[in-house]
Structure 1
Amino acid sequence: MVGRWTETEAKAWFARQPWVMGCNFTPSNAINQLEMWQADTFDIDAIHAELALAADVGMNAVRVYLHDLLWAEDPEGFLDRIDTMLAVAEEFGIRVMLVLFDSCWHPDPALGPQPAPKPGVHNSGWVQSPGIPALRDPAQRPRLERYIKGVVGRFRADRRVLAWDIWNEPDNGPEVSLCDAGELSAKADLVLPLLVDAFDWARSLRPVQPLTSAIWLGDWSSPDRLSPLQQAQIGLSDIVSFHNYGTAEDFAQRIAWLSIFKRPLWCTEFMARPAGSTFEAILPVAKLHNVGAFCWGLVRGKTQTHLPWTAWENPNLAGLKDKWFHDIFDVGGVPYDDTEVEFLRLLRTLDDKAPHWPIMGVETAKHAGPTPDGAAKAA
């Protein structure tokens, strides 16, 4: 069995990379992963136009979700469409983190035409991969293994692929904002064996890219506070990743907690403006500690992620007039906030070795996260 990268290997690889600043990307004309990738709705012109916007604000990476049903329907066509998207991203100097499985939102995905967005509802059409029926059916394991091995096998040595995110929020529930602790625990128990297998399947292909799966829930202040699923996520990841939609102080605290694992860090989801998770608050902390960071969303569209999560429980058209939750650009590439876009452009121009940014009141010396110096020594 192929083991995960050693600390030295992970740090050496990370030291060779630029600081990662990017977004979670779904084109604005797709409501979910299926609509993005299915042959009838795959729109490379829209992808090209929107990745140009990402590059224009200095982004060098995007995180993109795949789906197992796309493989089941048309493996070669699906792989060719991924290749086409990677070529466009490369044109703009953008590398792609590919997400293989996801436990968020609707539990019963189906191929074919996808539903229209529900007015006023955040991410009303997003679907899980695998869906709950497949997750519960042991007979689906061979199909899921072929999916993982087929996709990773095709792109295992492709430098346009930044990393493999094996499973997004695997302990999340069927309806994100409605889950209680018991539902989340039951979901984690169901996912854990397949999560371990999925890491093994991907790693057996010996990809040149690191594997990861982000923890997102709870108190990480000591390893014994992590759930069994979170322990598996960190224990199997080459690069440790996490999600955080809190303030700069909370973000810095999470970095400090995770530094005990002595591996490079990525935050693969952040940015919820009303909650205090903004570019101006979070990115200086991330840059200071050399933590790669991916905001949620790029162009406002059918996912409606500019609306708050709470709109899932209380659909509210008035939310359209409130401060945007996620996303950066409106239709036509118009920035939601001109000063925010200028901040992103300016941040990218700074010398990575000497970031001199205000950290929103955070005492950074108390939050010693992974540093470029530590990674360079390993190289």
Structure 2
Amino acid sequence: MRRLNKYILVFPILLMAIASSCGPQSEKQEADVSKRTVWSKEQARDWYAKQPWLVGADFLPSTAINQLEMFQAESFDTLTIDKELGWAQNIGMNTMRVYLHDLLYEQDSTGFFHRLDQFLAIADKHQIKPMLVLFDSCWDPFPALGTQRAPQPGLHNSGWVQSPGYHALKDSSQYPRLARYVQGTVGRFANDDRVLAWDIWNEPDNTNASSYGEKELPNKVDYVLPLMNKAFDWARAMNPSQPLTVGVWAGDWTSYETLKPIEKASIDQSDIISFHNYDKAEDFEKRILQLQQYDRPLICTEYMSRGNGSFFEGSLPIAKKHKVGAINWGLVNGKSQTIYPWDSWQKPYDQEPELWFHDIFRKDGTPYRAEEVALIKRLTKGE
């Protein structure tokens, strides 16, 4: 009996020791995690050679105002997702860029993964392989779980939220939680052929000066840069079969020396190079030529803002000529209200703008501009 009591006492201690050795429990342990290296240029090119010409949109179903509403159990809308991805497939799109959120994992990781798996199944049904975005520095810095606010009339992206939010970003004690999110999510889908790539952080140094600038964390980039580098490490530790990337989106890309530190980190850490460009066709091509110096596959993960001079007819043929993937902002006009321009934050619109800023389809599936849809079909399907 005494011998049995001894084992009863020791067993919980053994369990605690085992548990303490698992997962990202501390920064020291994070640093000790073995990880794959950044892909060589040859590995990146080999991967890209197996892909079709990648064309798609940054996707949010029209019934969701942000990432949380898209994936929370109460508002996860598979019927709308299925319908709208069908419209995308019909015009030849084969990828979507889809935003996730750290709070979804914290709320219910099992349920979140189940719904993400459902989403991937629907996308696969439509022959679409999404790029999944883990973190995002754009718009509202104070995300909250639960029922999301209704759209503010006439305002572009009135409910989109950052990940991580203000408080998590400035608090390094939350790194272990964020590490669990990254490693749990990437690890769960690391060998899933339905996932195209992992976009670690969208526009990491965006301070949202024209919208939430006064509410932003001062010196935000000083907090983002070290966390972004850690997020690359956390993701790479799961040995994903898909490439990792962070897009460059603003600045002087003439040479590596002209890049800002966060842009250098983005280029250095990325298996494939991604970028944003919302300018005219000439500038779009100029940016491509600048980024070709890194000799890696290129995917433009945001473009097409009609009011800013960026159109399908200007940028998409250039992307095809240079074999650059092209993912435009917005598929269907919905609760994100990205048909309104960025300057709606200074002067909200009281009616639908004559010139849509983003998006391709109305909620009933009819295209905003039939000639744009015809162009996309012709370039993707050879019609």
- What TM-score, normalized to structure 2? 0.89
Could you say which residue in structure 1 is the equivalent of 2:284? 251
How far is 1:31 from its partner? 0.3
Q: Distance in 2 between matches of 1:249 and 1:178?
A: 31
| Correspondence 1:329 to 2:361 | yes
- Alignment-derived partner of residue 87 in structure 1: 121
Matched, 1:219 2:282: no
User: In the alignment, what sits opposite 1:309?
Assistant: 342
2:192 corresponds in structure 1 to: 158
CA distance in 1, matches of 2:185, 2:218: 29
Alpha-carbon distance between aligned partners in 1 of 2:64 and 2:164, rounded to the nearest angstrom? 19
Q: Counterpart of 2:176 in structure 1: which amino acid?
A: P
In the alignment, structure 1 residue 289 sits paired with structure 2 residue 298: no
Aligned to 1:373: none
Deviation at 1:255, TM superposition (A): 0.6
Are positions 1:194 and 2:220 aligned together?
A: no
Q: 2:60 aligns with which of 3, 20, 26?
A: 26
Shift of 1:139: 1.2
1:239 to 255, 259, 272: 272
Distance 2:64 2:212 in 1: 24
Q: Which amino acid aligns with 1:49?
A: K
- Tell me by how many angstroms 1:350 deviates: 3.0
Deviations 1:34-77, CA, capped at 9 Å, x for gaps = 00000000010110000001001100000000000000000000
Q: Name the aligned partner's letter for residue 341 of structure 1.
A: V
Letter in 2 for 1:342: A
Structure showing greater Rg: 2
1:171 and 1:184 in contact (8 A); partners too: no
Specify whether residues 25 and 52 from structure 1 end up closer, same or farther in structure 2 by C-alpha distance, changes over 3 A only: same
1:125 and 2:163 matched:
no
Distance in 2 (CA, whole Å) between partners of 1:321 and 1:42 is 29
Percent sequence identity is 55
Paired position in structure 2 for 1:51: 85
Tell which deviates more after alignment, 340-349 or 294-303. Answer: 340-349
Look up the equivalent residue of 1:115 and give its one-letter code: R
Counterpart in the other structure of 2:140: 106
**Conserved 8 A contact 1:171-1:185:** no
The one-letter code matched in structure 2 to 1:255 is: I
Q: What is the match of residue 207 of structure 1?
A: 240
Aligned residue number for residue 370 of structure 1: none
Contact 1:68 1:144 in 2 (8 A): yes
CA displacement at 1:276 relative to structure 2: 1.8
Cα contact 2:251–2:260 (8 A) shared by 1: no
3-state SS in 1 of match to 2:219: helix
Q: Using the TM superposition, give the Cα deviation of residue 94 of structure 1 relative to its aligned residue in structure 2, in angstroms.
A: 0.3
TM-score under structure 1 length normalisation: 0.90
How far apart, in 1, do the equivalents of 2:109 and 2:377 lie? 38
CA contact (8 A) 2:57 2:329 kept: yes
- Out of 180, 189, 202, the position equivalent to 1:146 is 180
What's 1:344 paired with?
A: 376
Secondary structure in 1 matching 2:84: helix
SS in 2 for 1:74: helix
1:364 aligns with none
Question: What is the aligned residue count?
Answer: 348
Q: Residue type of the partner of 1:234?
A: I
Report the counterpart of residue 333 of structure 2 in structure 1: 300
SS of the residue 1:324 aligns to: coil
| Structure 1 gaps, min length 5 | 352-379
